[in-house]
Amino acid sequence: MPEANPKALDASELAALKPEDTKFSDLGIIKPLCDACDQLKFKHPTEIQKESIPWALEGRDIIGLAQTGSGKTAAFALPILQKLWDNPQSLFACVMAPTRELAYQISETFESLGALIGVKSAVIVGGMDMMSQSITLSKRPHIIVCTPGRLQDHLENTKGFSLRNLKYLVMDEADRLLDMDFGPKIDQILKVIPRERNTFLFSATMTTKVQKLQRASLNNPVKVEVSAKYSTVSTLLQYMLFFPLKHKDCYMVYLLNELAGNSTIIFTRTCSDAQKIAVMLRNLGFPAIPLHGQMAQSKRLGALNKFKAGNRNILVATDVASRGLDIPAVDIVVNYDVPQTSKDYIHRVGRTARAGRSGKSITFVTQYDVELIQRVEKDLGRKLDQYPLEKDEVMMLQERVNEAQRIATIELKEKGGDSKSGKRGRGGNDDDDQDRDDDVVQAGNRKFNNNKKGGKMNKRRR
Amino acid sequence: MTPLQKSLFHSFNQYRDVAYCNRDIDNAKEIRKAYALHALNHVLKTRDRVLKNNERISKAQKANRDIEEMRDQGFTRPKVLILLPFRNTAVDVVTALIELSGSEQQEHKKRFYDEFNLLEEEEEKADKPMDYQETFNGNIDDHFRLGIKFTRKTMKLYSDFYSADIIIASPLGLRTVIGAEGDRKRDFDFLSSLEVIIMDQTQQFLMQNWDHIDHILEHVNLIPKDAHGCDFSRVKSWYLDGRAKYLRQNLVFADFLTPEINAMFNKHMKNVGGKLKIKQSYEGSMIDAIAQVPQTFVRVEAQSLATADDLRFKYFVEKTLPTLQRSAITQSHTLIFVPSYFDFVRLRNYLEDNKYSCAHICEYTPTPQVSKARSDFFHGRASFVLYTERFHFFRRYNIRGAYHVIFYGLPDHPQFYTEIVNYLALKADASSAEEATFSCSALFSRYDMLKLERIVGTDRARKMCSSGKNLFVFS
């Protein structure tokens, strides 16, 4: 590195500089990777990149805390790629992510940053064919991006695949990885990868559990924190709307009508809500598409791609889409239900106003959600403004909305029969639905979820 | 080793594809030995390599150091597939393998010979031609499959496909395991890593069901649906990339070349090691005919293969049939030879619709009806008889009472032509005046070149296909 960049600054000097004044080369990044950054129009490192890359290049373990959309992925991708360049080796790094969509996105970042140095990366997530993944793995990619469930499955069942020589382990959205039932899987994975490795934890928020993990797998880590615990970007305008529960759909339709043409994500608490709203909106002629954990993986990817491509500009999603996903052009986030925790709120509204753009978030509050919203406001340290609108105009839509609701309910009932059987069919060949089940947890059905899992474990043992 | 074996084995061992179309009863055994040797050699060579690498890896693991990649396996174990038409040849091949392997012990050997040899006494076939006796000698069941596994000292017959090195099967036997699209139970993963495919007596598959061959070849060297416990770190990279079919050796042995074999040669034999097609030129089997009749060949002009069948039918119905009808002599005792079953059905329907007095014999006709048809024809109660090539292949009957023979198409087997022409000489008490009225004619198109050359000889066939005339008479 020194010869690659003799002018590398030391950490203290760097810290004094603003992100706008630094260049990637100042951080000690080698030329081919700087070129790749240029091609991707990354002109200056972001705060988190500036803080973490020099430490990473020094070979330290890192805990990175930064809000979403702040360039976290590149913050760990760049140093890994650079180390790989110095010391090429297959199965060099493993990146774990809580959702399949996020895994694909991280892999894309690696591929585009590593295009110039010829990096091969593989995505190993549930819902896809085990066999073709085994083949991909046996071609020995440099980087594996995975969800923990499926990776563990491969470590256990795919002969000839091991992570014995792994050098880097990254956990993106680390708090979520530990939040859910990933815990045991991750423990198992940690057992079979070498202790002499570098570990990076990245997350927007930090829980006590992360600290637990930190003890288990980190070695004298550097903690890099670029902003306060609960915060949102300044270019984001946050609003709330207060109304009685029964008018919820009506308000939503009014809003979408007012804001037509913007790309919008509507977050719901449950999968069935997401499905129902999407159908209802479609009946009213809105280009809406659902995204939730009860959809097959291929459909989830398809929905996301349609939304990204702009074919449908309203995405109705559960929290499956709330973290890590980088969809650059989201203008508005609607919280159909108030998020259960402040953390979820931060993640959800973090889908918009990314990378310096502006954005709006509107949270629906009904008589039952007052306590929740107050908690969020307390954590944010500010009151949310009331979104300005004309109440009478909203009420004029009531009739049409009711009609659409009715049709949607009938439609779903008709489809309900096949979707149930479809789900059962899928359960048979789809072992890794870890990252899908989280929606069920969100829906307050934890008990049901656990039962189901118990059954699965038995099946596998046999 | 005989000179033939030497030259064949040389090509085998260079891992080239070979389509050898000069097989006959005399060299059949030599060829069988040669490919058995090659199959065994291939299996043992690859096994030695795997064992050696196993040792190196375990040594390296003990010493706790890294070792470079050892890519020496396929997804699944079977490496060689031998396709044979009947159980009787399977016995020969397995016997050859046992002799060559020098294994101390063979598991299930008795069961094999019990199942693959004939159980009851053989019926006498002395009056049939030599090649018939050779083909149909012993157990002629065409539904079998057998996995053979080689270990250091023993050879295990009847081993499970996934642990077998060599699979010996009939096309039908394998096809029933592969199954068709939509079947509940299908399995063809064990064909994913074949390195050598051997087909012996290939022309007989044509008489069985060529469709099976295409079906099998389409299911070979695919990426398996299931891992079957394979060690991915040792799978050869061309398997991972789905390119295995380009490194598979195909050995095809046939008595003669047909368009189907040619198509397979072009479509499925893609070995990067190169491929050989070996074919002789022919003198023609026509000269072996005893019957003293002028043999007429008529070329039906066909612009394309797609229209050839229709034009031939049209020519037959519009020209040949009316000519037959016109003369009192040719109206009866006429045998019409039809090579394909489809043409047979077409002609049968046409003749029935137009109230011709006609008997028919094909491979699906039950034996009592065959007898009735033969006797009707002999006694003149039926003026025509339709007779298919496949029936002749399996039964080799002599049809008595034929004074006129018409080949709607030429047979693939050149000896069939003479055998059928010789039906005309079966009437021992025929006077020379009667004999003078006997006739024999055949329709062909330029797409029948391969069949024609075996009957009239290579040079003549070439002229007959390109000449301006379309009527040829040999007497």
Asked if B227 and A130 come within 8 Å (Cβ–Cβ), the reply is: yes
Between A456 and B172, where is the model more confident?
Answer: B172
B340, B421: one domain: yes
Shared domain for B22 and B43, answered yes or no, is yes
Q: How confident is the model at residue B201 (pLDDT cuts 50, 70, 90)?
A: very high
In order, the DSSP letters of A425-437 are: HHHHH----HHHH
Alpha carbon distances (Å) from A435 to A149, A151, A177: 8, 12, 9
**Could you tell me if A240 and A373 are in contact, meaning their C-beta atoms sit under 8 angstroms apart?**
yes
B290 lies in the same domain as B267? no
Cβ separation of A131 and B232 shorter than 8 Å?
no
Residues of B in contact with A159 (CB under 8 A): 227, 229-233
Task: Suggest the residue from B66, B67, B73, B233 to mutate for an interface test with chain A (most A CBs closer than 10 A).
Answer: B233
Minimal CA separation from A371 to chain B, in Å: 52
Check if the beta carbon of residue A32 is closer than 8 Å to that of residue A117.
Answer: yes
Using a CB–CB cut-off of 8 Å, the residues of A that contact B are 130-132, 134-135, 137-140, 157-161, 165
For residue B69, the distance in angstroms to the closest alpha carbon of chain A comes to 10
A chain contacts of residue B237, beta-carbon cutoff 8 Å? 139
Q: What is the pLDDT of residues B101-135, one digit of tens each?
A: 888 888 899 999 988 887 666 666 778 888 888 88
Residues of chain A contacting residue B67, judged by C-beta atoms under 8 Å apart: none
CB-nearest partner of A159 from B223, B225, B231: B231
Whether the predicted pLDDT of B384 surpasses 50 = yes
Do B400 and B378 touch, CB atoms closer than 8 A? yes
Note the maximum CA span of chain A: 72
Among A119, A89, A90, CA closest to A106: A119
Structure tokens at B475: 């007497």
Q: Is B214 helix (H, G, I), strand (E, B) or coil?
A: helix
Q: Is B287 on the interface with A (CB under 8 A)?
A: no
Backbone angle region of B230, left / alpha / beta, with phi > 0 → left and psi within -120 to 50 → alpha: beta
Hey, do A11-225 and A236-415 end up sharing a CATH topology, with the first three levels equal? Answer: yes
Residues 6+ apart with CB under 8 A from A353: A69, A232, A233, A235, A236, A359
Say whether B240 and A131 touch across the interface (CB within 8 A): no
Residues of A in Cβ contact (< 8 Å) with B240:
135, 138-139
User: Residue B409 maps to which CATH number?
Assistant: 3.40.50.300
Confidence check: pLDDT of B325 > 60: yes
CB A243 within 8 A of CB A260: no
Same domain as B132, residue B15:
yes
Q: Does B247 touch chain A (CB under 8 A)?
A: no
Q: Which pLDDT belongs to residue A310?
A: 78
What pLDDT sits at residue B266? 94
Pick A131's closest partner by Cβ from B69, B227, B234. Answer: B227
Looking at chain B, the whole-number percentage of residues with pLDDT higher than 70 is 98
- DSSP 8-state symbol, B22: -
- B197 and B57 assigned to the same domain: yes
Rounded mean pLDDT of B339-368? Answer: 91
Mutation pick from A91, A137, A138 vs chain B, by most beta carbons of B within 10 Å, is A138
Residue B155: partners with Cβ closer than 8 Å, 6 or more residues away? B97, B98, B101, B103, B105, B106, B107, B148, B149
Min Cα–Cα distance to chain B from A128, Å: 13
CATH superfamily for A236-415 is P-loop containing nucleotide triphosphate hydrolases (3.40.50.300)
- In angstroms, the separation between the Cα of residue A297 and the nearest Cα of chain B is 19
Same domain, residue pair B274 and B296: no
Instruction: Find all residues with CB under 8 Å of B18, minimum gap 6, and list them.
Output: B8, B11, B12, B250, B251, B252, B275, B276, B278
Q: What would you report as the CA-atom Rg of chain B, rounded to the nearest whole angstrom?
A: 26
**Which carries the bigger pLDDT value, residue B266 or residue A386?**
B266
Query: In this structure, what token pair is assigned to residue B426?
Result: 């079966």
Amino acid A428: pLDDT: 38
User: In degrees to the nearest 10, what's the CA dihedral of A385, A388, A392, A398?
Assistant: -70
What confidence score (pLDDT) does residue A462 get? 39
| DSSP assigned state of B106 | E
Mean pLDDT on B29-45: 94
Q: How far apart are CA B198 and CA B179, in angstroms?
A: 21
What CA dihedral angle connects A127, A128, A130 and A132, to 10 degrees?
180
Domain that holds residue B215: 3-278
B290 with B208, same domain? Answer: no
Query: What pLDDT does B150 receive?
Result: 92
The answer on B309 and B235 residing in a single domain is: no
pLDDT digits (tens, 9 = 90+) for B58-109: 888 888 777 777 888 899 999 999 999 999 899 999 999 999 988 888 889 9
Determine the Cα–Cα distance for residues A166 and A169; give it in Å rounded to an integer.
8
The interface predicted TM-score of the complex, written ipTM, equals 0.72
Task: Look at residues B254, B278, B302 and tell me which one is the last residue of a structural domain.
Answer: B278
- Whether A139 sits inside 8 A of B237 (CB atoms) is yes
Report the distance separating Cα A126 and Cα A103, nearest Å: 11
Radius of gyration of chain A (CA): 23
pLDDT in tens, chain A (462 residues): 333 443 444 555 555 566 666 788 888 888 888 888 888 888 888 888 888 888 888 888 888 887 766 788 888 999 999 999 988 888 899 999 988 888 998 998 899 888 888 899 999 998 888 888 998 998 889 999 999 989 999 999 888 888 888 999 998 888 778 766 677 888 888 888 888 888 898 887 666 666 666 656 777 888 887 764 445 566 778 888 888 888 888 888 888 888 877 888 888 888 888 888 888 888 888 888 888 877 777 788 888 888 888 778 888 888 776 665 666 677 888 888 888 777 778 777 777 766 666 778 888 888 888 888 888 777 777 777 888 877 777 787 888 888 888 888 888 887 764 444 444 434 334 434 434 333 333 333 333 434 444 444 444 443
**Does B67 contact chain A (CB < 8 Å)?**
no
Facing B229 at nearest CB: one of A130, A139, A159:
A159
Residues in a beta bridge with A62:
A200, A222
Same domain, B262 and B294: no
B338 in the same domain as B246 = no
Cβ contact, residue pair A134, B232, below 8 Å: yes
Which residues does B89 contact at the CB level (< 8 Å), separation at least 6?
B32, B200, B201
Nearest alpha carbon to residue A231 among A53, A17, A65, A16: A65
- A131 and B225: CB-CB below 8 Å? yes
Instruction: Please indicate whether, in this complex, the C-beta atoms of B230 and A159 are within 8 angstroms of each other.
Output: yes
The alpha carbon of residue A132 is apart from the nearest alpha carbon of chain B, in Å, by 9
Instruction: Tell me the domain boundaries of chain A.
Output: 11-225, 236-415
Q: Tally the domains of chain B.
A: 2
8 A C-beta contact, residue B423 and residue B335: yes
Nearest-neighbour CA in chain B from A142: distance (Å): 15
DSSP H or E segment with residue B249:
strand B249-253
**B353-B358-B361-B365 Cα dihedral, nearest 10 degrees:** 60
pLDDT at B119: 63
Which conformational region is residue B284 in: left (phi greater than 0), alpha (psi within -120 to 50 degrees), or beta?
Answer: left
Within 8 A of A161 by CB-CB distance, chain B residues are 232-233
Q: Which of chain B's residues have a Cβ under 8 Å away from the Cβ of A140?
A: 69
Instruction: Tell me the pLDDT of chain B averaged across its residues.
Output: 89
Q: Are residues B180 and B140 in the same domain?
A: yes
Please tell me which residue of chain B has the smallest CA distance to A165.
B66
- B390/B444 same-domain check: yes
Q: Is residue B64 less than 8 Å (CB to CB) from chain A?
A: no
**Nearest-by-Cβ selection for B233 from A130, A131, A138:** A138
3-state helix, strand, coil split of chain A in percent (to 5) is 50, 15, 35
Per-position DSSP letters for A231-277, written without gaps between them:
---TTEEEEEEE--GGGHHHHHHHHHHHTTTS-EEEE-SSHHHHHHH
B54 touches chain A (CB under 8 A): no
CA distance A89 to chain B (A): 12
Say if residues B457 and B282 touch (Cβ distance below 8 Å).
Answer: yes
Closest CB from A135, A157, A161 relative to B223:
A135
CATH number of A11-225: 3.40.50.300
What is the identity of the amino acid at A252?
A: M
A85's enclosing H/E stretch is helix A72-86
CB pairs under 8 A between A and B: 38
B99 to chain A, closest Cα gap in Å: 36
Burial class (CB in 10 A: 0-12, 13-18, 19+), A176: buried
Residue B117 contacts A, CB cutoff 8 Å: no
pLDDT for the residue numbered A271? 84
Give alpha helix (H) positions in B334-457.
341-353, 367-378, 389-395, 414-421, 432-437, 449-456
Q: Which residues of A touch B233 (CB under 8 A)?
A: 138, 159-161
